[in-house]
Structure 1
Amino acid sequence: MSVSIGQPVADFSAEATNDTAVALSQLKGQQVVIYFYPKDSTPGCTTEGGDFRDNKAAFDDANTLIFGVSRDGMRAHENFKAKQAFNFELISDPDESLCRQFDVIKLKKLYGKEHLGIERSTFLIDKDGKLAREWRGVKVPGHVDEVLEAARELAAQSR
């Protein structure tokens, strides 16, 4: 079961940093960015998280919440969030239920070996809980600017 543009995103409930439980159904009325990244404390994931952190005020102005998701456990998430001073929550998805819902688990190659891992992907959900935009196979440089622009356009349309 994957998500598609213009369709409602199935409700989910997940554990996040700061002892937060995130349920999509409780976020109605706000836009939501969910970005999936491979692993805490790795260079690309640190850069991407930092870009979201540095633009959080602009996302707030566009009525948009940010959540990062990986398969890492809560301890790794809390450390990563604290070390990078992230001003948004990280969702832990060790059983890959959220990853499967958004179809981001892909066969990847590392040093000639194949393994299943998270394909860097971002999803923008509108204030009614429908998928507005998706970015798959993301390259980090400039990505957050593109997501922010889409969030601003979406917010302007719903005013």
Structure 2
Amino acid sequence: MSKLEVGEKIPQFESSATNDTTVTPDSLSGKNVVIYFYPKDNTPGCTTEGQDFRDHSDAFTAANTIIFGVSRDSLKVHTNFKAKHEFPFELISDPDETLCKLFDVIKLKKLYGKEYMGIERSTFLIDANGVLQKEWRKVKVKGHVEEVLDAASNL
């Protein structure tokens, strides 16, 4: 599967999310969509990023934009993470990396001198017609959500 490029329509996929939600491109039609990928639930950066999206969720709703967080964590772990931090959006579980590969976010990472393949913090903005409009890679959490909100508000 080739990497999805800005300006391309999102191909078909089906993913499971919290709250017994099944996410497909058809289920997203008519709304702008933010899909943000993060390495792991209950880690400092990932928690802060989720809280930032939570704290701006009303503004995203006003911009006709829904939010999904994605990691390889299980639905059970996601459900607890979502409840603990009162996220008003669903978290997609991607243990087989289907979405991760579609959006090309699995990268070689280093931690304490060890190399491993993991999720590179990335965010994607899809318009109401299912077309990828903008991508942010190697995301730094501070100020990121505001930048995504600004882009979503201008679609």
Partner of 2:29: 28
Q: Deviations over 1:74-96 (max 9, x none)?
A: 11100100001000000000000
Partner of 1:151: 152
> What's the offset of the Cα at 1:122?
0.1
Percent identity reads 66
Q: What RMSD, in angstroms, separates the aligned Cα atoms of the two structures?
A: 0.5
Question: Structure 1 stretches (4+) deviating beyond 2 angstroms?
Answer: none
In 1, Cα distance between equivalents of 2:36 and 2:28: 16
Partner of 2:96: 95
How high is the TM-score relative to the length of structure 2?
0.98
Unaligned runs of 5+ in 2: none
> What's the offset of the Cα at 1:24?
1.4
In 2, Cα distance between equivalents of 1:6 and 1:44: 29
1:127-142 paired onto structure 2 within 5 Å: 127-142=128-143
Structure 2 SS opposite 1:132: strand
Partner of 2:85: 84
1:63-78 paired onto structure 2 within 5 Å: 63-78=64-79
Unaligned runs of 5+ in 1: 155-159
Structure 2 SS opposite 1:52: helix
How high is the TM-score relative to the length of structure 1?
0.96
In 1, Cα distance between equivalents of 2:116 and 2:91: 23
In 1, Cα distance between equivalents of 2:37 and 2:99: 9
**Equivalent residues of 1:12, 1:25 under 8 A apart:** no
Structure 1 SS opposite 2:79: helix
> What's the offset of the Cα at 1:149?
0.1
In 2, Cα distance between equivalents of 1:125 and 1:3: 12
In 2, Cα distance between equivalents of 1:139 and 1:95: 25
Partner of 1:15: 16
